[in-house]
Amino acid sequence: MPSEEFRYWDLSSWKEYIKKYVGNLHQSSRVLLELHQQLQDKIKEVNKGLINLMLGGILPDGTYDKYSSGKLIRRLFGLYIDPHYWVSISSLKDIALDTKIEVLREDSEFLEFLKEVNELSEKILRKAEMRPSENSETKVNIEEIINTPEKLLDLIEDFLKSIMGFVANYNRYTFFVISINHLPRFLIELLYPKLKSTFNDISSFLGLSIWERFKEECKELTLYGFDKESIGGLIYSLNDLIWDKFNEEKIKDVWEYVLEDAPELKKEYYSNIKQAIIETQNHVVFPEIPSRVGDPTHVMCKLCMNENRDIEYAYSFQYEIKGCTIKHIFHRARYYSKSYLDVEHNVRIDLKAFFIDVAPFLATKILDICFQDKKLLTIWR
């Protein structure tokens, strides 16, 4: 949203964000789902135009060419005509379409993705008291697609654009939501200073509430987070869904019909931000240092490095908190000798200093936290 002012403190701007960007996702996914329903109805009776669409781009060896319409329908909706069977009978004369051709079904990752995006976006709209029907209606006509297959590409491109408009990579409101989850209020207001005057209004609308309390003397460190079914929690889930599935092979196959190089949204987001943070972070009290090995759960431990332990990488960190102080740190470690051991560090780390030090990781959600058996656990994403 580079051309729009980022008014994160303004409730009306949040409603406009949901109406526009979540609404676009719901609308563009619904159009494709409606097309799928029409297609299901259409294949109950033989239709030569539809059959030709589903046979488009089948090569003599029974595979699909790069931009095959048959492959596209298969990836989109899981509906297809067996390409090998078609090749075997296509040389025969006078093929009776009503007896020779059968439309088959298979699971479609893209169709499931569409349904999930549509369901989550509809939940957000309803939570925000915006009826999905208030969005502009676009009637889909399967006959138009059969006669002009290029129009199907327009629908896919609309869905792709609505995804790019929504995800945290490019949308500051979506990024705001994921950034404030599991943070103390003083850090939220440090990141977003204009929020102080409207904190309660924005929190109430998005569903941000107290997630974890500490002792009374650590009251300012109370952590805030989103309930899963709140507006903020659903936005968080929708962004995660897109990040997790956007580059799956059979989903990426669909994007390639309208975009030559689909970006790896999740990978690009984490690599760019992680690199920027590592280059500027001193890790004064936070002992975990993201390693450059492939697995994001493998990190280095600054305390182990200071103790000259012969460790290749560390993982599964747990922080035991007493009052406002971290007293013990536990983690697993793999040594260069290929052995694995439990490691414990006795420390005295001020909890507020810890949260300030780890804030760049938490606010970008490279790192998340949870609590288990009264210990704080770090989760690298």
CB hemisphere CA count around 8 (13 angstroms): 20
Question: Which phi-psi region, left, alpha or beta, contains residue 373 (left: φ > 0; alpha: ψ -120 to 50)?
Answer: left
Closest CA to 109 of 247, 218, 216, 217: 247
Element (H, E) at 200: helix 199-206
| pLDDT tens, residue by residue, 111-160 | 999 999 999 999 999 999 997 754 445 677 888 898 888 999 999 999 99
Q: Which residues contact 260 (CB under 8 A, 6 or more apart)?
A: none
Residue with tokens 């019909």: 257
| pLDDT tens, residue by residue, 310-363 | 899 999 999 999 999 999 999 999 999 999 999 999 999 999 999 999 999 999
Does the CA dihedral 84-90-91-94 come out positive or negative? positive
Distance CA 32, CA 140 (A): 8
| pLDDT tens, residue by residue, 168-223 | 999 999 999 999 999 999 999 999 999 999 999 999 999 999 999 998 899 999 99
Distance CA 100, CA 88 (A): 11
* Range 291-305 average pLDDT: 80
CB hemisphere CA count around 366 (13 angstroms): 25
Most confident of 92-96, 279-283, 328-332, 377-381: 328-332
User: Residue 358: its pLDDT value, please?
Assistant: 92
Distance CA 106, CA 75 (A): 9
Mean of all residue pLDDT scores within the chain = 90
- Whole-number percent of the chain with pLDDT over 90: 68
Distance CA 81, CA 79 (A): 7
- Whole-number percent of the chain with pLDDT over 70: 92
